[in-house]
């Protein structure tokens, strides 16, 4: 997600520079070093934003847990299921069936 969001950010920032040149009625490719600079800045912002949004969601869910509230709806889209402490991963290459009593306990 980082590279794709970085490229989207770079495109948005370069587009802002081109639109700025268009509004000033100057050639769109004037000062090409500004296009490169804004592209790099846009890539950095686009790469940083999903990480900041995920950290914000973790902080909000921690505050909600302290108050005894459930996590925000849709949190699993950002935070994948994590195994409870002490639970080991199943062995994928065995044909043995796991009894229902040993199924993982889901926490919400």
Asked if residue 93 belongs to a domain, the reply is no
Range of the domain at 23: 2-79
CB distance 45 to 13 below 8 Å? yes
Task: List pLDDT tens digits, range 5-46.
Answer: 999 999 999 999 999 999 999 998 888 999 999 999 999 999
55 located within any domain? yes
Residue 99 lies in a domain: no
Q: Is residue 71 in some structural domain?
A: yes
- Answer whether residue 40 is part of any domain: yes
The predicted model gives 62-83 an average pLDDT of: 73
The pLDDT of residue 57: 85
Q: What is the number of domains present in the chain?
A: 1
Is residue 88, in this structure, part of any structural domain at all? no
Residue 75 lies in a domain: yes
- Does the predicted model carry a pTM greater than 0.75? no
Q: Does residue 90 lie in a domain region?
A: no
Contact indicator for 49, 5 with CB cutoff of 8 Å: yes
């Amino acid at each position: 997600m980082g590279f794709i969001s970085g490229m989207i950010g770079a495109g948005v920032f370069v587009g802002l520079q081109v639109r700025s040149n268009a509004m000033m009625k100057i050639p769109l490719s004037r000062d090409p070093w500004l296009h490169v600079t804004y592209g790099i800045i846009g890539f950095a912002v686009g790469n940083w934003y999903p990480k900041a949004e995920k950290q914000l969601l973790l902080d909000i869910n921690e505050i909600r847990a302290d108050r005894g509230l459930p996590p925000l709806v849709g949190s699993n889209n950002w935070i994948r299921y994590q195994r409870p402490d002490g639970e080991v991963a199943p062995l994928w290459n065995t044909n043995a069936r796991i009894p229902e009593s040993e199924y993982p306990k889901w926490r919400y």
